[in-house]
Amino acid sequence: MTMRKPLYGRKLDDFEVGATYVHPWEVTVDGGTLALFQASFLDATPTYASDVFAKQLGLNGRPVHPLLLLNLGLSFSVHDVSEQAIAHLAYIDVRFPNACEVGDTITAASTVLGKKLSSKGDKGVVHVLTVVSNQAGAPVCTFERKALVRAGAVLGRPVDRPTNAAAPDLGDIPRLPEAMRSGLAERPVRRGGFAGFYEDFAEGDVLCHQVGKTVGESEHMQLTLLMRNSHPIHFDEVYCAEGKSFTGTRVVYGGLVFGFVASLASRDTAGNVLWDLGYDEGAHPAGVVAGDTLFAASKVLSMKDVDELTGEVTFRLVGVKNERPEALLEGGADLFTAELGKDRDARVKAKVFEITRTVRMLKRP
């Protein structure tokens, strides 16, 4: 009898700079997937929730939520990129250039942009560009990310398909879907809606969002599997107990923490957002486990007047666990500066997520 123990993902020696890995997952995003995502995240952005509103913007209907696309793209890439990773380090230049519609079938591929061995030689950082595309080959989400991976190579990795494809030629990646690039033909009409139009924000404003979110154990594992994230650190307690988790137990998948924090901020910042123009400079300074309660805070970094109906707002969005952000700020915490590069005694131990988010937003009627 031959016993095999297949492993997936890659260690540092398995990555080749310039190589493109076509991930095996191919998933049709149906209405059930979208409904479960929307039921799991309290997101207030009207474009992603209402067919009626989305059609007024020139779209065919409500598109698949950008953070669902990002989560699927991240998770698809785990099989080839980060199933052996120690940690996800950074989100870089996340864009949503085309609308993805319910019924679309999406795939993803990742190109290795760089890798660097640590000074100790036991691990290193891998930098990849991932492109999520629909069945017509149009990119619906693009992002770069960095992961911390162990040195060496994965022994016993099955190779059942070509893994070194041509790198995608994306050119200048747009930040808006085609229907919205030339501006709105007219103001979309709503019967109700949330507060928070472009004029209601000012550079330097800080919003401490008051509703928290306690992460459930079965909840985070179900959503991880829905996204096709195959890293056992998120759902395999035996794996974690073997010393392979930095917490000793299952860790909440970072893309879900991203989604939870963004949705906690959405009623105060995104109730009149038309589209997410992009995310950048994102990181997870600390991990989250089941039972932790997340809170969010936002700071307005900049404002840009676009046209008669819309403007752009850039926020610094942060997530913290088990403490309210206003208490941290009142205690002198430097909440909105990136943790990387801070002196150790200046770091905010409760911070679990940080990113810069730019949105296109309606002006007040």
Other C-beta atoms lying within 10 Å of the C-beta of residue 131: 22
Residues 6 or more apart from 230 whose CB is under 8 A from it? 8, 75, 78, 79, 83
Distances (CA, A) of 307 to 38, 182, 197, 246, 274: 30, 11, 14, 48, 14
pLDDT in tens, 126-181: 999 999 999 999 999 999 999 999 999 988 777 655 566 666 666 788 999 999 99
Class of domain 1-165: alpha beta
pLDDT tens-digit readout, 74-114: 999 999 999 998 888 999 999 999 999 999 999 999 999 99
Say whether pLDDT at 191 is over 90: no
| Residue extents of the structural domains in the chain | 1-165, 194-215+252-365
Which pLDDT score is estimated for 31? 92
- Name the residue with higher pLDDT: 346 or 319: 319
Domains 1-165 and 194-215+252-365 share a fold: yes
Model confidence at 238: pLDDT above 70 = yes
Task: Share the mean pLDDT of the chain.
Answer: 93
Size of the chain, expressed as the number of residues it contains: 365
Q: Note the pLDDT of residue 168.
A: 65
Task: Give the integer Cα–Cα distance in Å for 277 and 202.
Answer: 19
HSE (CB half, 13 Å, CA atoms) of 103?
3
Flag whether pLDDT at 232 surpasses 90.
yes
Contact yes or no for 359/304 (Cβ under 8 A): no
- Residues 322, 350: contact at Cβ < 8 Å? yes
Please state, in angstroms and rounded to a whole number, the distance separating the CA atoms of residues 98 and 300: 26
Q: Which of 224, 153, 221 is nearest to 9 (CA)?
A: 153
Share of the chain above pLDDT 70, in %: 97
The CATH number, out of the four listed (3.40.47.10, 3.10.129.10, 3.40.190.10, 3.30.230.10), of the domain defined by the range 194-215+252-365? 3.10.129.10
